[in-house]
Structure 1
Amino acid sequence: MALFGLGAPKKDEEGLYSYSVRDIDGKNLDIAKYRGKVLLVVNVASQCGFTTQYEGLTELHNKYKSKGFEILAFPCNQFGSQEPGDAPQIKSFASNRGAKFQLADKVDVNGTAADPLFQFLKSEKGGFLTKDIKWNFTKFLCNKEGQVIKRYGTSTEPSAFEEDIVAALA
């Protein structure tokens, strides 16, 4: 049934902003804090072949943060066990790559234990053939109103959607 959208999570009028998650330090992080900002949500992993995207994400974040752009990265160990570390190890890894964007707690993005935020994101912008996330570094771009406007696959380099960020910030 989910193939036809019948099993999609129910959304309230707040949509994206109705969710809260745990940050990398285990503290509550209310997604509503991003209201009025352009937000990129991405599932990351430190031992993935696409981990070099940390640099591109950091570059975009540094370039557009002052204009209202934020990144919220979720470590995920679901794909090839490529994020085996604990929170301090993940924080250190990201910091060593210059990442100053917000890290969330490690989550599942698919399956019955998928984080509700990712259930929502996938219901808004499905992938090729299914809504499931295929691998690490899948990215969701949300506009200032909290609408999911684009989904980018794993192999899409951050520089490839810079124009979309600029347009969403305008």
Structure 2
Amino acid sequence: MSIYDFEVTREDGTAYSLDRYRGQVLVIVNTATKCGYAPQFAALEQLYKQYHAAGLTVLGFPSNQFKQELKSSAEAATACRTTYGVTFPMHQIAPVNGKEAQPLFHYLTQETEPDFAGRIRWNFTKFLIDRHGHVRQRYDTRIKPEAMIPDIEAALAEKV
């Protein structure tokens, strides 16, 4: 199994398969626009701009599981774009933990056990996915996106 087996939904309601990113390196992050870590949006956008041509895509997945997100997916995406200049794909607001968790996040948390006890602890947990669709690394909320650069560069250097 890999992330290519999952379907996700953009903020506008358009569903698609993550298979469209086959061969790319991904950073998947659960987000919240009212979180104290929201300034990480700007750093994630910088990574996206700096490495997109080399094969990196950042995917934002807002969640209100920690009660720090706006009321709608469209509002959250607009806030990301206007406040932080986000151009990377944003998705619908959905839970990242528990029985109602998005299947993608259930998979991501299971792939990073036992190091993180299977749960997303807070907003801006980041997952680095290699070119084969497998979880390469999980980063805690407190880890700034720029600290991921050596791992991103190593993943980009791998052959498909």
TM-score, length-scaled by structure 1 = 0.89
Partner of 1:95: 81
Q: From 130, 134, 139, give the equivalent of 1:147.
A: 134
SS in 1 for 2:152: helix
CA distance in 2, matches of 1:84, 1:127: 32
More displaced 10-residue stretch of structure 1: 126-135 or 55-64: 126-135
CA contact (8 A) 1:127 1:133 kept: no
Would you say 1:108 and 2:95 are equivalent positions?
A: yes
- What is the match of residue 8 of structure 1? none
Distance in 1 (alpha carbons) for counterparts of 2:92 and 2:73: 7
1:127/1:139 Cα in 2 relative to 1: closer, same or farther (>3 Å)? farther
Q: Distance in 1 between matches of 2:114 and 2:80?
A: 27
**Contact 1:74 1:103 survives alignment (8 Å):** yes
Tell me if 1:77 matches 2:61. Answer: no
Stretches of 4+ moved more than 6 A in 1? none
In the aligned structure 2, how far is the partner of 1:29 from the partner of 1:73?
A: 14
**2:27 and 2:59 in contact (8 A); partners too:** yes
Residue 121 of structure 1 aligns to a residue whose secondary structure is: helix
Identity %: 38
The residue number in structure 1 matching 2:34 is 47
55 and 78 in structure 1: CA distance in 2 versus 1, 3 angstrom threshold: same
- 1:5-36 per-position Cα deviation (integer Å, ceiling 9, x unaligned): xxxxxx4xxx2101001111001121001100
